[in-house]
Structure 1
Amino acid sequence: MELKDIQNLIKFVAKSGASEVKLEMEDVKITIRTGEHGKGETTYIQQLPTMAAAAPQAAPVAPAAPAAPVTPVAEEETSKFITVKSPIIGTFYRKPSPDKPMFVEVGTQIGEGDVLCVIEAMKLFNEIESEVTGKIVKILVDDASPVEFDQPLFLVDPS
Structure 2
Amino acid sequence: MKIQEIREIIKLVDGSSIEEFSYEFEGVKVKMKKNGSGNARQTGSSSVQAPQALKTVEAPSAPAPTKESEAERLVSQETPEIPVDNDSEYHKILSPMVGTFYESPTPDEAAYVQPGTKVTSDQVVCIVEAMKLFNEIEAEVDGEIAEILVKDGQLVEYGQPLFLVKAN
- Give the TM-score range, shorter chain: 0.5 to 0.7
User: For the pair shown, which has the larger CA radius of gyration, 1 or 2?
Assistant: 1
Separation in 2, partners of 1:153, 1:107: 15
Say which of 81, 94, 98 aligns to 1:85.
94
Query: Residues 35-83 of structure 1, C-alpha deviation per residue, up to 9 Å, x if partnerless?
Result: 3643159xxxxxxxxxxxxxxxxxxxxxxxxxxxxx6xx45x1111111
1:117 equivalent in structure 2 = 126
Matches within 5 A, 1:9-20: none
State the identity %. 45
Q: Distance in 1 between matches of 2:144 and 2:49?
A: 35
Deviation string for 1:14-46 (max 9, x for gaps)?
xxxxxxxxxxxxxxxxxxx963643159xxxxx
- The answer to whether the aligner puts 1:94 opposite 2:112 as a matched pair is no
Q: Which has the higher helix share?
A: 1
CA RMSD across the alignment: 2.0
- Quick one: which amino acid aligns to residue 129 of structure 2? E
Partner in structure 2 of residue 14 of structure 1? none
Distance 1:40 1:154, change over 3 A: closer
**2: CA distance between counterparts of 1:40 and 1:107?**
32
What is the rounded CA distance, in whole Å, between the counterparts of 2:153 and 2:135 in structure 1?
14
Aligned-partner residue type, residue 156 of structure 1: V
2:155 corresponds to which of 146, 149, 159: 146
2:138 maps to what in 1? 129
Q: Offset of 1:113 from its aligned partner? A: 0.8
Structure 1 pair 79/40, CA: closer, same or farther in 2 (3 Å)?
A: closer
Is the alpha carbon distance of 1:34 and 1:124 closer, same or farther for their aligned partners in structure 2, counting shifts above 3 Å?
A: farther
